């Protein structure tokens, strides 16, 4: 298998827009092409990742740039759609099938709670136990009971990530919050308040993966390599946490461990999620995530910055975009191009993590 590199990445600002999403998705692709120094005609295949954008949405995006006849594959895998597209593009390049593959993730979303259920509803659905705020709230209550995690520790995730988002020009929300504002915002599912939930946003991001010969030919910057990738689903036969199992597979592929990770972008759809992911990814022991947030370990200035982009909490969570936006942030951070939100620990290895409805999880490990 060949080494695979990120040659270029690009985004557009997240928010709520009247424009058709394929236009913004095409802009993200053009931004990635400019960053890569690659002509659109050189792209040999593309993955278009989205959840609710309908039939052949990817073909609508590429038609905005130019109909070159390339292979376009649409990918839907819940919140992990973007990172799943990255996963498949990796193997296309690593196997030698293609030298240049583009992945574009995009979503145009409605306000309010995302309804992931369809068809006949169970009693759990009707009681509100199968919607994301309810599921994460139950996880929060359990963690509080088992480990003494406090509402203040969960709220600090929101404070941290909204502060980070102030420095990200692509973030939906660019406003600092106080701990009191987060804790006293409207309760949505006890103990989670409104400002501990990510917004539903429109947005698009793109990444271009290339073989080593293309990377070395076209690059005068640090080469950014995708060294580990894993996409997995839940199993009834194992007690191991899904994120832990997925991460361990990626760590093994990359020949690194959690102690080697210098920064991470994780799936902080709700604040408790980020704390749970600290533990599941091996950044700390079970029950110790509250200490990490209290001590500032995961701040931009900390020893293990998490979600320097602002995360889903501040940047937003356009479902098909998220995994690719995380890659954009890690690439920019490893290059030292993140300006005011640049992490201070001279990162060499970064990690992205997404998970979604249906029990899907993806972890990617990126190095320079």
**Residue 256: beta bridge partners?**
none
Quick one: pLDDT at residue 110?
80
Return the structure tokens found at 132: 């994301």
- Give 4-111+201-226's CATH code, choosing from 3.40.47.10, 3.40.190.10, 3.60.20.10, 3.40.140.10: 3.40.47.10
What does the alpha-carbon distance between residue 201 and residue 315 come to, in Å, rounded to a whole number?
9
Active site residue 87: no
Give start-end residues of each CATH 3.40.47.10 domain in the chain: 4-111+201-226, 127-198+228-367
Find, among 70, 10, 64, the residue nearest to 37 by Cα.
Answer: 10
The Cα–Cα gap between 54 and 75 comes to 11
Mean pLDDT of successive 10-residue segments in the chain (368 residues)?
96 93 96 96 97 93 94 96 98 98 94 60 59 90 97 98 97 96 96 95 97 85 94 83 96 98 97 97 97 97 98 96 98 96 96 92 97
CATH architecture group of domain 127-198+228-367: 3-Layer(aba) Sandwich (3.40)
Helix runs in 56-185, H state only: 57-65, 81-94, 123-126, 132-147, 151-165, 179-183
Which of 266, 234, 233, 229 minimizes the C-alpha distance to 251?
Answer: 229
Half-sphere exposure of 192 (CA within 13 A, CB side): 27
What pTM was estimated for this model as a whole?
A: 0.94
Q: What is the pLDDT of residue 124?
A: 60
* Residue 162 among the catalytic residues: no
Output the pLDDT for position 157: 98
Q: Is the dihedral of CA 263, 269, 272, 276 positive or negative?
A: negative
Instruction: Provide the pLDDT for residue 237.
Output: 75
DSSP 122: P
Biggest alpha carbon distance in the chain?
58
CA separation for the pair 112, 200 (Å, rounded):
7
Rounded CA separation 114/158 (Å): 20
Name every residue whose Cβ is closer than 8 Å to that of residue 48 and which is 6 or more positions away in sequence. 25, 57, 58, 59, 61, 62, 72, 73, 74, 75, 85, 104, 105, 106
Q: Which of 29, 79, 328, 361 is catalytic?
A: 79
- Write the DSSP symbol of residue 46: E
> What element of type H or E holds 355?
strand 349-356
Q: Which candidate in 317, 328, 353, 361 is catalytic?
A: 317
């Amino acid at each position: 298998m060949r080494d695979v590199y990120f040659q270029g990445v690009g985004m557009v600002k997240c928010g709520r827009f009247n424009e058709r999403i394929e236009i913004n998705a095409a802009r993200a692709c053009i931004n990635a092409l400019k960053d890569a120094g690659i002509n659109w005609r050189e792209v040999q295949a593309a993955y278009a990742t989205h959840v609710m954008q309908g039939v052949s949405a990817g073909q609508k995006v590429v038609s905005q740039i130019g109909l070159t006849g390339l292979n376009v594959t649409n990918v839907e895998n819940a919140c992990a759609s973007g990172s799943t597209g990255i996963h498949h593009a990796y193997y296309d390049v690593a196997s030698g099938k293609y030298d240049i593959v583009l992945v574009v993730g995009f979503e145009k979303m409605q306000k309010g709670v995302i309804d992931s259920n369809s068809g006949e509803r169970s009693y759990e659905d009707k009681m509100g136990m199968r919607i994301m705020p309810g599921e994460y709230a139950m996880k929060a209550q359990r963690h509080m009971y088992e480990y003494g995690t406090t509402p203040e520790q969960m709220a600090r995730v929101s404070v941290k990530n909204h502060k980070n988002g102030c420095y990200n020009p692509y973030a939906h929300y660019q406003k600092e919050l106080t701990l009191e504002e987060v804790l006293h915002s409207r309760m949505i599912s006890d103990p989670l308040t409104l400002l501990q939930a990510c917004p539903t946003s429109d947005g698009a991001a793109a990444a271009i993966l290339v073989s080593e010969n293309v990377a070395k030919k076209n690059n005068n910057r640090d080469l950014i390599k995708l060294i580990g990738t894993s996409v997995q689903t839940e199993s009834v036969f194992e007690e191991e946490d899904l994120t832990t199992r997925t991460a361990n597979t990626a760590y093994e592929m990359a020949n690194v461990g959690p102690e080697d990770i210098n920064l991470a972008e994780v799936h902080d759809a709700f604040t408790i999620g980020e704390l749970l992911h600290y533990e599941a990814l091996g950044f700390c022991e079970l029950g110790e995530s509250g200490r990490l947030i209290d001590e500032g370990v995961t701040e931009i200035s900390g020893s293990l910055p998490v979600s320097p982009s602002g995360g889903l909490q501040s940047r937003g969570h356009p479902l098909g975009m998220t995994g690719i936006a995380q890659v954009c942030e890690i690439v920019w951070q490893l290059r030292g191009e993140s300006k005011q939100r640049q992490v201070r620990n001279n990162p060499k290895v970064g990690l992205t993590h997404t998970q979604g409805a249906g029990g899907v999880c993806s972890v990617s490990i990126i190095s320079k």
